Chain A
């Protein structure tokens, strides 16, 4: 485990070594997220409220999503590239090392641009989401569990590349869950809504934690906990199964 921690420290130092780039990228992401706030403000100014969602609820959703997604995609940046690494043989370099493959791959690369998301999410929560000690605690735990669902899902769909040999499904899954998690799930109905609570668990990444911050219930908290556990275990399971049948592409430079 110390090797994995050391790898993460090295990745952090690598990202921090170019300070100007670090701050520029982070600022760009904050600007990017601000545009979404502008969009939602304009949208609700025109629309009033939609399916029970208003401006303040959506800003809370956005604060949770950006905090969690920033942690996953910033600190564990390779999580979104697992499919590409597998399809292009980029995991070969990791296989030769005496460290657990998946944790090593996840911590090997840090992406400063996504720290901007976390920075933005924290700022948004404290500025626009009425923080009280109880709400802040639930926001932190909810964001962490939502991040775990996101992490599990992107690893799971990325690991499908072990079986298909291509990474497009993983890329699409990653884009789809982020997109769908940034909208209120209640605008959907029927099969789409069921999908967002099951196979494409976008609801657990943002909407369920947002509901918990507003109205904490044991059932919803347990549902989120179960979803986080299930997708984490599923991700490790599919990656491990896939790794057993992996054939090297002998490309050593992408991990």
Chain B
């Protein structure tokens, strides 16, 4: 456990010690979030002020938080992890007396925590400025742990998907498709309530809503604590899936020789 905390702490420190990269990431987040929230605000204003129970202000909070949950992570993580597996670079990590995937997830979590904190604070300020005060401050408070769980779910799922490289040796294109699943089924670009019935029903039984929709919905003022329970459930499932996929892949990698 101490290895995990050390990995998180060291990775977080490395991120903090490169303020320019942090600033660029923040600028990118701010541009993306402001564009998509401007679009939805325009839609809400042209639609009598609300869409599917979200006011223009609520949509603004929703989108700033959803974007923070997703853009705090490296979007190409699947590709990078897949490359390490395909090239055999991961074999060096097998020599350590620690779980390969556990340390990888911990390191990535550490890397994205400073970004998540920065995006949340600045994004909160921008959302307040553009969309007004949060409708339910208690919802915003619940969004904080929800953001953290969203990142854990996303990282675990990305590693589970990247483990496919143990077998197919090429996970380069997978990140594209994975990212789009988070965008649509995770409701990052469009709240679940606005999806067609069958797609909304599909989204609700998949883990992607735990990666963006849950914290965004809470921050938008819909105080639904069961979303946090669902996130904890999916975090557990996805972490186990990632660990199992890596364990199976590592056995195969040892056979192939790395």
Contacts and interface: CB of A to CB of B under 8 A. Distances in A.
Interface in B168-212: 170, 172-174, 176-177, 179-180, 183-184, 189-190, 194-196
B190 A43 contact: yes
Contacts of B94: none
Per DSSP, chain B at the interface is helix
A28 B196 CA distance: 24
B27 interface: yes
Interface residues of B, number: 31
B5 interface: no
A41 to B, nearest CB: 10
Interface in B61-115: none
B257 interface: no
Contacts of B32: 179
Interface stretch (B7-15, B38-46, B214-222, B229-237): B38-46
B43 A31 contact: no
Contact of B196 (A42, A51, A168): A42
B81 to A, nearest CB: 17
Which of the four size classes fits the interface of chain A? Answer: 20 to 34
B79 to A, nearest CB: 11
Contacts of A166: 20
Given A38-B184, A47-B47, A50-B46, A175 B28 contact: yes
B208 to A, nearest CB: 13
Contacts of A233: none
B204 to A, nearest CB: 16
A123 interface: no
Interface stretch (A95-103, A180-188, A242-250): A180-188
A32 B184 CA distance: 11
Given A168-B21, A169-B24, A183 B39 contact: yes
B31 interface: yes
Contact of A42 (B21, B170, B172, B195): B195
Interface of B: 20-21, 24, 27-28, 31-32, 35, 38-39, 42-43, 46-47, 51-52, 170, 172-174, 176-177, 179-180, 183-184, 189-190, 194-196
Interface of A: 21, 24-25, 27-29, 31-32, 35, 38-39, 42-43, 46-51, 113, 166, 168-169, 171-172, 175-176, 179-180, 183, 187-188
